[in-house]
Structure 1
Amino acid sequence: MRAAGQATRDRILAAAKAEFAEYGTAGARINRIATAAQASKDRLYAYFPGKSELYAAVTEQWTAQTTAETALRADDLPGYVGRLFDHFRAHPENARLQAWADLEPADERGAQVLRRTVDLKLAEIERGQHAGSVTTDIAAPTLLRMLTELARSTAVHSGRGPARRIAEQRAAVVLAARRLVEPAA
Structure 2
Amino acid sequence: MPRNGADPRTRILNAARTEFATYGLAGARIDRIAKSASASKERLYAYYSDKKQLFLEVLELNLREFASDAVLTDHDVPAFAGALFDHAVQHGDHLRMIDWARLETDGTWLPALEVMLGYRDEQVRRIRLAQAAGRVDASWEPAQLMTLVFGIASAWVHEPGVVLTNSGGSDSVAIAARRANVIRAIERLIAPSAEPAIN
TM-score using structure 1 length = 0.77
2:185 is equivalent to residue 181 of structure 1:
no
Residue identity matched to 2:88: F
Percent identity over the alignment? 37
SS of equivalent residue, structure 1 residue 108: coil
Residue in structure 1 matched with residue 197 of structure 2 by the alignment: none
Distance 1:10 1:20 in 2: 15
CA distance in 2, matches of 1:26, 1:40: 20
Whether the 8 Å CA contact 2:75–2:129 is kept in 1: the answer is no
- TM-score (norm. length: structure 2): 0.73
C-alpha contact 2:76 2:130 (8 A) present in aligned 1 = no
Instruction: Give CA deviations for 1:127-180 in whole Å, capped at 9, x if unaligned.
Output: 323444333444333322222232223256462464333222111111111122
Report how far residue 13 of structure 1 moved. Answer: 1.0
**Partner of 2:87 in structure 1?**
87
After superposition, residues 1-185 of structure 1 pair within 5 angstroms as 7-73=7-73, 75-100=75-100, 105-154=107-156, 157=162, 159-160=168-169, 162-185=171-194
Cα distance in 2 for residues equivalent to 1:93 and 1:132: 36
Unaligned ranges ≥5, structure 1: none
**RMSD in angstroms over aligned alpha carbons?**
3.0
With over 3 angstroms needed to count, the CA separation of the structure-2 counterparts of 1:132 and 1:93, relative to structure 1, is same
Deviation at 1:75, TM superposition (A): 1.0
Unaligned runs of 5+ in 2: 195-199
Matched to 1:70, the amino acid is: A
CA distance in 1, matches of 2:138, 2:28: 40
1:79/1:174 contact within 8 Å kept: yes
Displacement of 1:98 in angstroms is 4.2
**CA deviation after TM superposition for structure 1 residue 79, in Å:** 0.6
| Pair member with larger Rg | 2
Distance, in Å, in 1 between the alignment partners of 2:191 and 2:39 is: 51
Give the conservation status (yes or no) of the 8 Å contact 1:84–1:151. yes
Letter in 1 for 2:131: Q
Distance 1:165 1:71, change over 3 A: same
More helix by share: 1
Q: Is the Cα–Cα contact under 8 Å of residues 16 and 55 in structure 1 kept in the other structure?
A: yes
Whether the 8 Å CA contact 1:59–1:113 is kept in 2: the answer is: no
Q: Contact 2:67–2:116 at 8 Å: present in 1 too?
A: no
User: Which letter does structure 2 place at the counterpart of 1:36?
Assistant: S
Cα distance between partner residues in 2 of 1:139 and 1:7: 46
